[in-house]
Each structure stands twice: as C-alpha cells, then as structure tokens.
Amino acid sequence: MNLENAMLSIEKLKEIQKEAKTARGAILKMTTLAKSGHPGGSMSMIDFLLTLYHMIDIEPDNPHWQNRDRVVMSAGHVSPAVYSTLAAVGFFDVDAAISQFRLAGSIFEGHVEPDVPGVEWASGNLGQGLSAGCGFALAARIRKTAHHVFVLMGDGEQQKGQLAEARKFAVKYKLNNLTAFIDYNKLQISGKIDEVMPNNIMDCYLADGWDVIEIDGHDLIEIRDAILDAVENDNPTLILAHTTMGKGVSFMEDQHKYHGAPIKEEHLSLALLELGQKNDLEKYKELRSRFILEKFLPKPKKDFDLKLGKPIVYKDKTDNRSAWGNAVADIAKLNPEAQLAVFDCDLQGSVKTNAFEKEMPNNFFQGGIMEHNTAVIAAAVSKEGIQTFWADFGVFGVDETYNQHRLSDINHTNLKVITTHVGLDVGEDGKTHQCIDYLGVMKNIYNFKTIIPADPNQTDQVIRYISGKYGNFLVPMGRSKLEIIKTRDGKIIFAENYEFEYGKADLLRDGSDAAMFVMGTVAGRAVEAADRLAEKGISIQLWNVSCPIDLDEDALQKAAATGTVFTYEDHNVQTGLGNSIADKMMQLGLSCKFHKFGVEDYAFSGSSEEVFKACRLDVEAVVERIEAVMRGDV
C-alpha cells in the first residue's frame, strides 16, 4: 500500500461521505428489489469499506493485478456493501449490481463470490475469512510482493473458534501485512450479541497477541487514521469499529430485523429521502426483467511450469508416506526458485515432510493443532498461484476440514491435500483415527480430484503429476510399508516405463473367471489374493483404481464381461470404491454378479494386520470370500 496516496485529504473524505450516501441507496435498492439480502450490516460497514478502497492499491480495470492489496470479506452476507463499493471505485457498473442482485445466473450472488471483479474470496460460511487473509499475507512473503491484506468481519462471527486459530497463526508468523476489521454493531441475526452469546472481542485479540485500535466506524477521519496506523504497525492489528446497524436511515438503525431482511418497497422512498437519493426502483425492475441467464464458468487455469524430474523407483517394501516425502523434496530440489509451500499440523514426522523442509526451510509452515485454519490458509496461498501441499492424517485433512475444502473449491483454489493414515492402516490408534470415509466424503466436492496410489512407485508418480497441475487434489495413503507391486513374473509394474495417466485403471493381473477392483493400501494384498486364487484354478482379472471419481469405462466393460465383479477396499463399504463402481456400472447398463468387500462398521484398535483380519479384509479372508462366491455359496 502506498501510504502517501492513502493519506486522504479532508476534501476527499467529504466526497467519500457523499459517495457513502449513494452506496447506502444502492444497498437498499438491490435488497428491496431482490426481496432478500442483508442491508443492516451492509449499512454499518459501508463507511469503512468505501474509505478503505479509496486508500488501497488497486487497478479496477485489471482486477487480478498481482501487486494489488487484497481485501477479504469474511462476512459474505454483506454483499450489497461490497458490490456498492466495488462499483463506486470502478470495478463494474452499479446498475448491473443493483438490477441483478441475487438473480439466478448473475455473478452478484447472495454471498460474495470470486467471479465478481474485485472479490478475492467467497465466503458465506462465517469465521473462515481471517484464515484466508493469513494465507494471502503469507503468499506475499513467499512471492516477495509488498501487498497488504485486509480482512473485514462481522461481530457475530467472532464467536467462531476458527478465528482463535487464525489469530495465533498470524502472531506466530508475524504477519505485519495483515489488518483485520470488525464491524461492531453489537447485533446478530437473532438479536443482541450480549444476549445471544456474550463475547469479549477485544480481550480475545489482545490475549492472542494482536494490537487493537478502537474507533467510531462512521467517522471517516478515524477510519483513515486507523488504517494508516494499522498498516504501519509491525504486529497484526485489529480495527474494532463501533458502528450502528442500518446506519443512515432512522427507522432501520439498531434494528436487528434488518440484519437478514430488506425494507419493504413501500418504505423505500422514505429511506432514500433520508439519504438524499431518488427512488428509481422501476428502472431496475425493468433491467432485472431483461437479464438473460447465462452460466459463468471459471477460467481454466494453466498448469504449472515446474521441472517434475524422473520418477524414483522403489524396489523394496516402502511406505507411501516416505515416497510422497521424497517426491516433494525432489521437486523442491529441482526447482529451487519455484514458489512452493508445504503445511503441517504438528505431525511432521508422521507425514514425512522433513526432507522438504530441509530443502526449502522458508516454504515450510507449521500450523499447529489448528486444522480448520490451516486448511483455509493453505488454500488461500494456493490461490495465489503458489503450488501448495498440506499433509495431515486423513481424519484431520478430510473429516475435520470437509467444509473448509468445500468453500475453497468454490473459490477455485489449487490445493494439494496429502493425507496419510487412511483406511484401516493407521497403526494402533483405533477407530477415531481410521479415516475410512475419505472418498465418500470428498466425492461430494465437485472439483476436488482424489487419487489413491497403490504402492510407493505409483505414489511417486502421482505426486509429480499433481505438482504440475493447477487445481484441488486429495492423495490419501496408509501408514505401513507396502510390498512393491509386480507382475506375476516379478517385474515392477509402476516402474520407469509406467506413466501415470489420470482416470486410467491399471490391470495388475489378467483373468477371466471374475474381476476385482481395488484401491490404495489393499492393492498389494489383492495381488497376493489373485495369485493364490490362480493356484486354486480361479482366474481373477485384477484392476487397480487410483482415480475412483473418474472411472475407466473400458476397465468396467471388461470386468463386467467376466460375469462377476468384486470390489475390495479398506474403506466404508457403503461409500467407497465399490459404491462408485456400482453407480457407474448401473449408468453404463452393465450387469453381472456384484460383491463389495469393505469396512462394515467402526473397527478395532490394533496392528493393521490384526484389524484387517478382524474386518475379514486380509488376504486369507478375501480368498475365502471369493471362493465362496465362485462356488455359488453366497
């Protein structure tokens, strides 16, 4: 931020004061026209928003200008204030925003969305914006750019625990390019904050080591000075702005019912009169009726120009975790100037990111036991074009943070989530740590691809593959050392001559009596089972599926042609690979006998082998279960 430009004159502030009346008018028009939306908080926050946008470095004609200051609106429901402000400073025409607000197919959605020029981050789920702001602030450090990051929040959302995580992270990493703002109007949707859920906001920020500047959030001089002080301060700073909900219209002020509801059309003229604005709603009604629904697709992002190196080929039993750790360290070594980031949540030794940290110590970030926060920070960093990995146990990297990933995906992020300790292969930690639902959970998120490698060699190739791609990927893996998968005559299958291709199933064994699909940790066991069955005269066509979200239709056709299909996984039997295969086969009109082997209930705490056995998913049990089906007993 250019401090000289930011030192707004009194004349300029007077202009902004006038502009704020127009913006308040726009807020009322768009919400009344749409018959929904959140005018109350929009009107309490607008003075700050407008002043801020007149101070920061932006290029409205070039909204993705790399050196722009970033503004994250965490309280996504005050979209009317955001749209009015962005229009006022020139990002788009205010008539479009007013007339299309909350209209299906328009970018001017109920909650801010990054398709709108000038919007950095979709929100709507409260409490995530400060984490995103930490991510953007950290990205500036990684990219060595000087941009400042402002996070604008509501006061109600201060109740969300994720904010306490973000505060700690900002202080640990001394994010002095981060300024937070709270619109402290003391009302939330149900009523007074002091009655709904009392919260000592200032004390909480101070306890976590932030500096706090308290201001009147409707006094533009105080706003300007607070922003200047915060930007110059060498510590994360909160501007706590006392405001009035519905500010500017007498009958709306301090009324919590206007948090989430617009004023009625018959009251609009009166309100606009108080703001010195004319009521031209009819014009917008007409514009609205002429809007043509079209779908805005996110621009395709180009892949990363990184040297991906030559695959490492493991010949001896190795855990996929180590293969991931070695691959990412190798990529760092090959690309010393590249913008990479790896995040950890207090499990570095287990998730094998030490080698990467050694290679690029400044690009490794320890997020502590704060998974919600880390998921969002890593996603925001990734959105800045930094190739970003977050490694964690499956239960934390998937189960605990599903909703963070969902919102990140809506934000078109570029996050690589590497989860270890998935399935039943978690050591003795027991059912709370057995992430047997990663696929079932993540296949709900439209643009998150899941790739599950079968052994360390495939893991190496998968990590190199995703390192070259833009987009969100999950790569789950177990804990144990795995046998290297080989052909019947002992050749390593995922060796130099293999190249990972997204969506392609790997034929591990050919066969004709029945087919079996497997994923991840059990692939090696399945090879052993198939070989044992072959000795018994049952010939199994064995497919490894590393991409269960985008299935290989050819493989399904060939498998169905055998007449009997099995699926085998250490995943919840209701929602995993077997479920995806069944769904796709029905859609393709493939019919055959079909049997799923998977985890049928919460499992025990024990060694992986013991747990597989208890769940009837060890090699012996699978051989028996297949034999029983082939005999016609089941």
Distance of CA 574 to the CA centre of its chain: 25
Residue 487 backbone phi and psi in degrees, to 5: -70, 170
Nearer to its own copies by Cβ, of 231 and 505: the residue is 505
Q: At a CB cut-off of 8 Å and minimum separation 6, what does 41 contact? A: 75, 77, 78, 81, 154, 183, 185, 245, 259
Please state the closest distance from residue 100 (CB atom) to its own copies, in A.
10
Q: Does residue 123 touch its own copies according to CB under 8 A?
A: yes
| Near its own copies in 124-143, by CB under 8 A | 124-127
Q: Does residue 607 touch its own copies according to CB under 8 A?
A: yes
Q: Which residue has the tokens 């056709």?
A: 557
Strands 481-482 and 318-319: antiparallel
| Near its own copies in 190-209, by CB under 8 A | 190, 196-200, 203-204, 206-209
Q: Which stretch binds its own copies (CB under 8 A): 21-29, 317-325, 395-403, 463-471?
A: 395-403
Please state the closest distance from residue 490 (CB atom) to its own copies, in A.
32
| Near its own copies in 295-354, by CB under 8 A | 295, 344, 346-349
Which of 486, 606, 620, 627 contacts its own copies by CB under 8 A? 606
Beta bridge partners of 213: 239
Distance CA 506, CA 491 (A): 14
Nearer to its own copies by Cβ, of 261 and 495: the residue is 261
Distance CA 449, CA 467 (A): 13
Nearer to its own copies by Cβ, of 104 and 302: the residue is 104
Angle ∠(426,429,430) on CA atoms, nearest 5? 95
Q: Does residue 34 touch its own copies according to CB under 8 A?
A: yes
Binding residues for its own copies, rule CB under 8 A, total 109
Beta-strand ranges (E) seen in 274-425 are 318-319, 340-344, 364-366, 387-393, 415-420
Q: Does residue 629 touch its own copies according to CB under 8 A?
A: no
Which of 144, 234, 293, 300 contacts its own copies by CB under 8 A? 293
Binding mask 558-597 for its own copies (x = CB under 8 A): --------------x-xx--xx--xx-xxx-x-x-xxxx-
Q: How many CB atoms lie within 10 A of CB 587?
A: 11
Q: Which stretch binds its own copies (CB under 8 A): 242-250, 330-338, 437-445, 536-544?
A: 437-445
Asked whether 203 and 163 are in contact (CB, 8 A), the reply is: no
List the end-to-end C-alpha distance of the chain, in Å, as a whole number: 71
Please state the closest distance from residue 222 (CB atom) to its own copies, in A.
25
Asked whether 175 and 134 are in contact (CB, 8 A), the reply is: yes
Distances (CA, A) of 315 to 166, 456, 490, 497, 531: 43, 9, 11, 14, 20
Distances (CA, A) of 345 to 349, 372, 398: 11, 10, 13
Which of the 8 DSSP states describes residue 595?
E
Q: Does residue 92 touch its own copies according to CB under 8 A?
A: no
Which of the 8 DSSP states describes residue 396?
I
Beta bridge partners of 422: 435
Which of 1, 28, 163, 626 contacts its own copies by CB under 8 A? 163
Binding mask 215-254 for its own copies (x = CB under 8 A): ----------------------------------------
Please state the closest distance from residue 157 (CB atom) to its own copies, in A.
6
Please state the closest distance from residue 215 (CB atom) to its own copies, in A.
21
The three-class DSSP label of residue 91 is: coil
Q: Does residue 168 touch its own copies according to CB under 8 A?
A: yes
Q: Does residue 162 touch its own copies according to CB under 8 A?
A: yes
Q: Does residue 37 touch its own copies according to CB under 8 A?
A: yes
Q: Does residue 399 touch its own copies according to CB under 8 A?
A: yes
Which of 330, 437, 455, 570 contacts its own copies by CB under 8 A? 437
Beta bridge partners of 426: 428
Which of 470, 498, 502, 604 contacts its own copies by CB under 8 A? 604
Task: Give the DSSP H or E segment for 3.
Answer: helix 3-6
Q: Which stretch binds its own copies (CB under 8 A): 110-118, 304-312, 497-505, 624-632?
A: 110-118
| Near its own copies in 349-388, by CB under 8 A | 349, 366-370, 372-373
| Near its own copies in 57-76, by CB under 8 A | 76
Which of the 8 DSSP states describes residue 398?
I
Nearer to its own copies by Cβ, of 127 and 246: the residue is 127
68's tokens: 């722009």
Distance CA 338, CA 329 (A): 12
